[in-house]
């Protein structure tokens, strides 16, 4: 394992308070988002949208790495330049989603396990040769009546650790994403309890698989109540619950925590990340950063709406959200940034 390469990659991904842009939606997920807006669900529409993203002027000022999907890493701009080369020229490190999706966990109604370990070593080598320097694998944990089960947490944590070890062997930084999802009526306290248990299990498996923690990025959910919970906390309450949960579960050797947005409104995700950095930054062993998909892309996607004439305005919206989240890493985000 080339641990210096891994550490250097992590440093570049998060230098200057930058973060990650997740643009690795599978074709199915991307098509669903297009369908809601009446955008054609075609390879060409997906390619054109991804071209809009990677050619956004100035994106490299606030985005250190972009996570691609297998279809996208093989695509090009209309002038033939590969997306990978466009990103590299913009100072953005290409990454790649390598799991093959969350599937029903046998014997566990309502629970999923993420697949994709078969043949992963070969796929990672190919992606490294194509220019990727980091990877992502997402596990999904649901909270509900009697959920999550121990076996669901354990199966997902084990797969995440096997994936992470293979990534490090191939010279790719593994982004380790155990997502406790927001669907449901659960409280902030229940999310905190489940998130802590999931994280402790994930780190126990990472140790067992001899993963070097200084060469990973953790991509967790923020600690939040379910979307159907009647009590919704303040921004500061979310910041406190999240950081206190992580202080008890995430080893200090981990260099960076880059949150997923999970369906939170974009401005709220920025405000919550900002509050964590304002209240805790000087006292934390890890950087608190972002790896958002919807909370960076959604406003831009809505403006674009499949039309070439809207590309420049959509790129401005994307640039703006990326800058807001960079400011949140510094603890300098404010509502004023949204109205300027
Ligand atoms: P969201 O920020 O939209 O949750 O997406 C992050 C991600 O990469 C999901 O795997």
Residue 289 gets which letter from DSSP?
A: E
Q: What is the mean pLDDT of residues 110-114?
A: 98
Whether residue 287 has its Cβ less than 6 Å from ligand 1? no
Whether residue 294 has its Cβ less than 6 Å from ligand 1? yes
> Residue 158 has which token pair?
């084990």
pLDDT of residue 44: 98
pLDDT band of 256, cuts 50, 70, 90: very high
pLDDT of residue 310: 98
Catalytically annotated residue among 219, 267, 332, 338 = 219
What atom of ligand 1 comes closest to residue 269's alpha carbon? 2
What is the whole-number distance in angstroms between the Cα of residue 299 and the centre of ligand 1?
15
pLDDT exceeds cutoff 90 at 1: no
Catalytically annotated residue among 25, 51, 177, 205 = 177
pLDDT band of 340, cuts 50, 70, 90: confident
Query: CB-hemisphere CA count at 13 Å for 264?
Result: 26
Domain 3-339 indexed as CATH 3.20.20.70: yes
Q: What is the mean pLDDT of residues 77-96?
A: 98
The percent of residues above 70 in pLDDT, for the chain, comes to 100
Locus of tokens 């070439």: 308
Beta strands in 191-284 (DSSP E): 217-218, 256-259
What is the whole-number distance in angstroms between the Cα of residue 22 and the centre of ligand 1?
6
What is the whole-number distance in angstroms between the Cα of residue 262 and the centre of ligand 1?
6
What residues does each domain of the chain span? 3-339
Whether residue 292 has its Cβ less than 6 Å from ligand 1? yes
Q: What is the mean pLDDT of residues 10-29?
A: 98
pLDDT tens, 132-190? 999 999 999 999 999 999 999 999 999 999 999 999 999 999 999 999 999 999 999 99
pLDDT exceeds cutoff 90 at 292: yes
pLDDT of residue 88: 98
What atom of ligand 1 comes closest to residue 262's alpha carbon? 4
- The alpha-helical segments, DSSP class H, found in the chain are 3-14, 27-37, 43-54, 70-73, 83-89, 120-130, 150-170, 188-208, 235-247, 266-280, 294-304, 311-330, 336-339
pLDDT of residue 203: 99
Whether residue 261 has its Cβ less than 6 Å from ligand 1? yes
Residue 340 annotated to the active site: no
Whether residue 269 has its Cβ less than 6 Å from ligand 1? no
pLDDT of residue 25: 98
pLDDT exceeds cutoff 80 at 301: yes
Whether residue 295 has its Cβ less than 6 Å from ligand 1? yes
Please tell me the pTM assigned to this model: 0.98
pLDDT tens, 188-246? 999 999 999 999 999 999 999 999 999 999 999 999 999 999 999 999 999 999 999 99
What atom of ligand 1 comes closest to residue 292's alpha carbon? 2
Residue 177 annotated to the active site: yes
């Amino acid at each position: 394992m080339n641990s210096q390469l891994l550490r250097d990659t992590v440093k570049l991904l998060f230098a200057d308070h930058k973060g990650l842009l997740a643009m690795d939606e599978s074709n199915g997920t991307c098509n669903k988002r297009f369908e809601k807006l009446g955008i054609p669900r075609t390879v060409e529409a997906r390619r054109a949208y991804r071209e809009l993203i990677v050619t956004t002027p100035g994106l490299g000022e606030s985005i250190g790495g972009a996570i691609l999907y297998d279809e996208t890493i093989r695509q090009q701009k209309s002038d033939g330049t590969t997306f990978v080369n466009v990103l590299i020229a913009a100072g953005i490190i290409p990454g790649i989603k390598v799991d093959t999706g969350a599937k029903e966990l046998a014997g566990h109604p309502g629970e999923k396990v993420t697949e994709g370990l078969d043949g992963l070593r070969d796929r990672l080598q190919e992606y490294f040769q194509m220019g990727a320097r980091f990877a992502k694998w997402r596990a999904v944990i649901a909270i509900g009546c009697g959920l999550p089960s121990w076996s669901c947490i354990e199966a997902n944590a084990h797969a995440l650790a096997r994936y992470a070890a293979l990534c490090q062997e191939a010279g790719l930084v593994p982004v380790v994403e155990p997502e406790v999802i927001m669907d449901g009526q659960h409280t902030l306290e229940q999310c905190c309890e489940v998130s802590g248990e999931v994280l402790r299990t994930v780190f126990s498996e990472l140790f067992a698989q001899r993963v070097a923690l200084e060469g990973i990025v953790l991509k967790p959910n923020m600690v939040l109540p379910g979307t159907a919970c009647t009590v919704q906390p303040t921004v500061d309450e979310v910041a406190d619950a999240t950081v206190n949960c992580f202080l008890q579960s995430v080893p200090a050797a981990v260099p960076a925590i880059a949150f997923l947005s999970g369906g939170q409104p974009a401005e709220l995700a920025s405000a919550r990340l900002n509050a964590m950095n304002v209240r805790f930054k000087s006292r934390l062993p890890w950087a608190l950063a972002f790896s958002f998909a919807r909370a960076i892309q959604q406003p831009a996607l809505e403006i674009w709406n499949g039309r070439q004439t809207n590309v420049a305005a959509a790129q401005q919206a994307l640039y703006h959200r990326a800058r807001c989240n960079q400011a949140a890493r510094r603890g300098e985000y404010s509502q004023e940034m949204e109205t300027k």
